[in-house]
A and B are shown apart, each in its own frame.
Chain A
């Protein structure tokens, strides 16, 4: 299977980036966003002034990266919340384990 490098259409990379972000696959999202940015830069360089003037690429690109960043921030916050819950559960379990060890049964 060919590796999706810069020669892929940037639209495909955009979809791939959205999927990675939604799946909380941050490592993949970082890789794809890098590819997306490079591909976009290359395509932009190949475009004429007229094409650039009427292109929707700038708006789409900024919207995509902004969205990806906001969702990732949200995922980070939720992971922190999840981590807090787990740490609380771990403390609870430690307390229960201590109780059981000392329980006078």
Chain B
């Protein structure tokens, strides 16, 4: 058969295997695979978004938790400042100074200092002058016995020098103070050891080196004596300068004379604590506002925010039921238009003693009542480690975290299965590609002898 005959015959035949080429099919299949991958990745994208949300919420909860804890701490500080709401004013400060500890009764005390008292002292009387106290001593001994009153103390200097001896005495616990004094001139120094009793009055002082007494005759001191409101007539004797003249009221006697000591209520310490409270409140409020409305905070729409807002409003709106002070506004704490607080310290300065007393009653204590307890309880609804909104919300996030982890585990199992299937498919595809190549070669060989004269035969190559 001629080549043209074969060509003519073939032209009459419709193709048995119509292939349209691979390009258009490939693009369609590629689009399909891409779409499938996009759909498959959607859950992971959601999971990622979910995780970002959890992280953001966790961070914001942590921030708010810190701020609310600070706010609660500031409340407790106001509560703790209640013990220092009294102050003492001294009429003549050269006679004595006064200090309040606790809650002394308000009133005026007249203190007459008959004798501010003095301490006993003694000086060493070494015949051989010490010209260098860092290397020389008043005795060659390395062990001494110090007598103060009726008590004795063993003294063992670290080195054999006057300075070391004085230091050893001061660290021995003896109620005495040792000093090194130059009784000579700069050109001819003569260092001696001086010892002074801590207590007022006549106190025996002696230092013995095992053989000799090293101190000269001591100068005897005198006890302090004073009367309070003229009583007792002979005065009260004390071997200490600081004496307690009323519960919670101590005075330090400084010079003979008479002075008044007035104890009155004061809100100065409360004032500074209230200022700190307002600062802490504003910090918490401002942070909370970042999570309200369209502000875009991580906790927008979260129920915990509402609980925290309510807690803040609740405690600020507290009203006392008795006395002349029934609201924070009367103490200078006011709302701004933005919802934050301001504090006017001058508001407290103008309060009378009765109003100060009422203010302290209004404030109360975090444990027993008043504003502080009310506010503390309101904040507990936020900060309580078990039932507080912060703890509850954190637990909720933890649960969500756990659920996400479970979902990830499941997704990973599914992905592993897909990987296995794909690997299997690829192995089968590899085998098929090789097989088809071999079959093609085989068939081309089979058909080869017709190549030259059959137009339907495959082209070479």
Contacts and interface: CB of A to CB of B under 8 A. Distances in A.
A14 B341 CA distance: 86
Contact of B44 (A40, A63, A75, A89): A89
A55 B456 contact: yes
Interface in A49-105: 49-50, 52-76, 78-83, 85-87, 89-90, 92-94, 96-97, 99-101, 103-105
B5 A53 contact: yes
A105 B425 contact: no
A34 interface: yes
B326 to A, nearest CB: 43
Contact of B457 (A58, A82, A100): A58
B183 interface: no
Contacts of A60: 15-17, 456
A56 B429 contact: no
B37 interface: yes
- Which of A58, A70, A99 has the most CB atoms of chain B within a 10 A radius of its CB? A58
B16 A90 contact: no
A93 B37 contact: no
Interface in A31-57: 33-34, 37, 40-41, 44, 49-50, 52-57
A34 B431 CA distance: 12
B55 A69 contact: no
B433 A97 contact: no
B457 to A, nearest CB: 4
B51 A99 contact: yes
B396 to A, nearest CB: 10
A78 B412 CA distance: 21
Contact of B412 (A41, A76, A93): A93
- Which of A49, A67, A103, A105 has the most CB atoms of chain B within a 10 A radius of its CB? A105
- Which of A73, A82, A101 has the most CB atoms of chain B within a 10 A radius of its CB? A82
Contacts of A55: 10, 450, 454, 456
Interface stretch (B90-98, B147-155, B307-315, B436-444): B436-444
Contacts of A56: 10, 13, 15-16, 456
A71 B404 CA distance: 40
Nearest to A99: B51
B40 to A, nearest CB: 8
B37 A82 contact: yes
Interface string B46-73: 0110010011001000000000000000
B247 interface: no
A26 B432 contact: yes
A26 B442 contact: no
Contacts of B48: 92, 96
Interface stretch (B137-145, B227-235, B346-354, B414-422): B414-422
Contact of A26 (B19, B30, B428): B428
A58 B13 CA distance: 13
B6 A54 contact: yes
B412 A86 contact: no
B409 interface: yes
A26 B51 contact: no
Contacts of A86: 415, 418-419, 422
B29 A74 contact: yes
B405 interface: yes
B22 A70 contact: yes
A53 B412 contact: no
B5 A67 contact: no
B1 interface: yes
A79 B418 CA distance: 10
A71 B26 CA distance: 8
Given A82-B37, A86-B415, A92-B44, A100 B405 contact: yes
Contacts of B51: 96, 99-100
Given A40-B443, A53-B450, A74-B29, 10 more contacts: A37-B442, A56-B10, A58-B454, A58-B458, A59-B10, A67-B17, A86-B415, A90-B419, A93-B411, A96-B408
18 contacts: A33-B435, A33-B436, A34-B439, A53-B454, A54-B10, A56-B13, A58-B443, A58-B456, A60-B15, A65-B440, A75-B429, A76-B433, A83-B422, A83-B423, A86-B418, A86-B422, A89-B41, A97-B405
What 5 A-B pairs come out closest when comparing CB atoms? A54-B9, A26-B428, A62-B458, A58-B447, A76-B429
